[in-house]
Amino acid sequence: MLTDFVDYQCTSMELYNLGVWDVIWAISVAALGGSICRAWLTKGAYKGNPTNWPLLGMLPGLLLNLHRVFDWIASVLAHNGGSFSFRGPWFSNMNLYITADPRNVEYALRTRFDNYPKGQDFSDIFHDLLGHGIFNADGQLWKTQRKITSLQLNTRTCKQSTDQTVNRTVEDKLLPTLKYFCDAGRYFDLQDMMLRFTFDTICMVAFGVDTGCVCPTLPVVPFSKAFEDALECTMLRFFVPRKWWRVRKWLHLGKEQGMPEALKGVNKFLEKEIVARREKLRHNFGLSVGGKSDLMSYFLQMDGDAPNDDKILKDLILNFLLAGRDTSALALSWFFWLVASHPSVEKKVIEEVQHVMGGCEMKGKPVPTRAEVSQMHYLHAALTESLRLYPSVPIDIKEILEDDILPDGAHVRKNDKLVYAIHAMGRMESIWGSDCCSFRPERWLKPDDGTFTDAHVPPFHYVVFNAGPRNCLGKDIAYLMMKTVASTLLHHFKITLVPGQKIEHKLSVTLYMKNGLLVRLEPRTP
């Protein structure tokens, strides 16, 4: 699948779609560039490197391409051999070294891990929502939380509970809802449905609460809505200088206007659940007496490193929710779009699911078990290939603590940022060959027996699940959830895409489809 780099006319309506107050700072600053800069901004997308303007730096090029920022980054990196220095406006602290070179990625994520933390800017952006949780922490605080989370996720009880929750949510909630839309012959947004499903599932795994997002009426759930509003505002902060989003926060402009109310909704829900769970445990209604087998209950009953402070516990659970909700839902959305666009891949997935499950009728079982999805090698390869092209987290940012020299010879300076472009890495011919933009699951299969393998891919060529000390702890859960949903849905239904819809990225830190994924389902006949 080829990435389309096309010219673009920047209009006032496009800017409005980003949020008027979220870009008005940029319009004001750009006006200082005079008539020459303004004329350039109306010409269309840049063909290669953006101009480094006096005062404004390369910000105009970024603004012009915000609607396609990840494709733009990929094109700039391809034009520059895999790495590029982005200069921000003067005094903005937006000087970035952007790279898709696996050598640089390995150097930052493993070799010199301590010199490339998340950093204070990253922490400030996410602090209002995520506090000091694992996703937003560095140093000893991060190590402690990672230890706690790893211990719990790897317990046999937690894995069994997760398996049961995923299967139960698919069978009792997702399948009936999808069948309703199928029987009605109605189009619906499959990305929204996947976000609802993962939100319900992760909330059950994290704190044992059914939020009721997945049902035919598609209800607006207050906690889910508050979480999404807070996350959208948080993500927009990434694309503006630090001083500007702080000013907007202080003046309550744009998305920042609704941030306090959104945070209030999120915190109120979680604080209520923590208080209720502590009360049950005080009265001996713990895991051994019919209590909840969720992460919150585990954390509350831990010895030693147990997070006794409610604020720390809230941050820990909320970070887990963020890590699990968007990543799996968006990965599934792009996967279903790719599969619906590649009938030969769909056919192979269906044949494998039917073979593993015992024929077309799946022996009467609507949802496969963990043991059964572990045998679905082609499906695993197709999901892995989809994530290569459309990673749920398309870029990641690290702060540079001390001056350094990267493996590609670049000199990077203290307090600048290193950005490794995961989305762009999947489109680098130097990494994946001439078919780097093609959706080809077979690149992950052994030619002799067709089983999945990633042994031939160096770990820092494929960093969809991060790598090094911060590698993703929830990778196993993510694959279990994705394979269960994908195999079940594709076995029961044929996905038809709404003709003419435009599939493109949304301006976000995670890889949302801007307009969703409109589909219609038909019963799949044997």
Domain extents in the chain: 1-67+86-93, 134-523
pLDDT in tens, 381-417: 999 999 999 999 999 999 999 999 999 999 999 999 9
Q: Where do we find the tokens 């005080």? A: 282
pLDDT at 177: 97
Sign of CA dihedral 7, 517, 463, 63: positive
**What 3-state class would DSSP assign to 406?**
coil
Per-residue pLDDT, 98:
96
SS (H, E, C) 135-170: HHCCHHHHHHHHHHHHHHHCCHHHHHHHHHHHHHHH
Cβ atoms of 72 and 393 within 8 Å: the answer is no
Transcribe 219-260 into DSSP letters. Answer: ---HHHHHHHHHHHHHHHGGGS-HHHHHHHHHHT-GGGGGHH
The tokens for 367 are 């949802």
φ/ψ region of 433 (left if φ > 0, alpha if ψ in -120 to 50, else beta) reads left
**Strand 188-189 relative to strand 518-523, pairing:** antiparallel
pTM (two decimals): 0.85
Q: Is position 182 annotated in a ligand binding site?
A: no
Looking at the DSSP assignment, which residues form a beta bridge with residue 385? none
Residue 275's pLDDT is what? 83
Q: What angle do CA 15, 19, 24 make, to 5 degrees?
A: 70
What confidence score (pLDDT) does residue 362 get?
52
27-46 tens-digit pLDDT: 444 444 443 444 444 444 44
* pLDDT at residue 475, as a whole number: 92
Q: Which residue has the tokens 């493993």?
A: 110
| Third-level CATH fold of 134-523 | Cytochrome p450 (1.10.630)
The bridge status of strand 417-421 relative to strand 96-99 is: parallel
- Helix and strand numbers (H, E) in the chain are 22, 9
List, for the chain, all residue ranges whose pLDDT scores fall below the cut of 70.
1-48, 284-293, 302-308, 359-365, 526
Residue 8 is predicted with a pLDDT of: 31
Sequence-ordered list of residues with C-beta below 8 angstroms from that of 35, at least 6 positions apart, any chain: none
